Each structure stands twice: as structure tokens, then as C-alpha cells.
Amino acid sequence: MKRPHERMLTFNKHILNPIMLKVAGVAPGPFAVVHHIGRRSGKAYATPIIVRPVAGGFVIALTYGPQVDWYRNVQAGGRATLNRHGKEYAIENPEPLKTETALPVFPMPLRTILRLRGTQDFVKVRAWRTAPTA
């Protein structure tokens, strides 16, 4: 029998994430979509994430911890792309950040939600805009 945390992960992966993928990379707000390649399968994946822009890149909340597939894939591959507000960025070099360093970059309402969720893990990635594709 699955524990509540595992049930929530399954629900998010199969129900919530497909809905979020339709708006996360283009709508205003804290969500973006990270496009990454599976470290074992070589398949392309897209995952909605919570981000905040900072000088030279983004801070990303690892809302399910550092063992999530998208993060492990980016670590293994070294880079990925991120879509935020209709713009595409190349990202690389994910570096863990301490909670007390990362949390203050998020606006107060989101910071409160992340705290209530118990989010403890964050990373900073270097980012740059990619050329628009025609």
C-alpha cells in the first residue's frame, strides 16, 4: 500500500503535471517547464517546476527533494532547457543552495507555501536566453 507522500507523487505525475505543462512555460507566475533527457532511457521529458529568476540564472525549488528524476537527469547531462513566460533558456551547472539563502528570493506568498510544504531543497542554475526558433 502506498504512503500518502507516494500517492501525492503519483497523482502529480499523472494528473497535475500534464495540466501544468499546458500553462507552466507560458503563463505569468512562478512556474516553468524544464526539458531534460533521461539519464538511462535517453528519452526527452518535460517537467513543470517552480523557479525564480536571479542574476545569471534561476533558483529552483526542489519541492519533492533532490531525488526527483528531472533534477537527476540535469545533473547527469549537465544541461537542459527551461521555458518561462514564453521564453526559452539554456540552463546548466545546478548547484545546491541552502534554504536560508534560497527561500528569500521567492515572493512572500510563495515563500509561505514552500515553507508550509516543508520544501528544504533548492538549486541555482546558470541560464541564458536561446535564439528563438522559427
Question: What rounded mean pLDDT belongs to the chain?
Answer: 90
End-to-end Cα separation, the chain, in angstroms: 48
pLDDT at 26 over 90: no
Q: Report d(CA 123, CA 55) in Å as an integer.
A: 14
Range of the domain at 113: 4-128
What is the total count of domains within the chain?
Answer: 1
| 133 belongs to a structural domain | no
pLDDT at 134 over 60: no
| 134 belongs to a structural domain | no
Q: Report d(CA 38, CA 72) in Å as an integer.
A: 9
- Can you tell me the mean pLDDT for 27-51? 94
Higher pLDDT, 13 or 114: 114
Contact residues for 4 (Cβ-Cβ < 8 A; gap 6+) = none
| 78 belongs to a structural domain | yes
Handedness of CA 92, 68, 72, 14 (dihedral sign): negative
Give tens-digit pLDDT for 73-102: 999 999 999 999 999 999 998 999 999 999
C-alpha distance from residue 51 to each of 55, 65, 84, 85, 125 (Å) = 13, 14, 9, 11, 10
Supply the pTM of this predicted model: 0.87
CB 59 within 8 A of CB 51: yes
| 62 belongs to a structural domain | yes
Enumerate the H helices of 1-134 as residue ranges: 4-11, 17-23, 69-77, 99-102, 108-117
| 63 belongs to a structural domain | yes
Contact residues for 36 (Cβ-Cβ < 8 A; gap 6+) = 44, 45, 46, 47, 70, 73, 74, 77, 80
| 113 belongs to a structural domain | yes
CB 91 within 8 A of CB 64: no
| 35 belongs to a structural domain | yes
What's the grid cell of residue 2?
A: 502506498
CATH code for the domain in which residue 87 is found:
2.30.110.10
| 47 belongs to a structural domain | yes
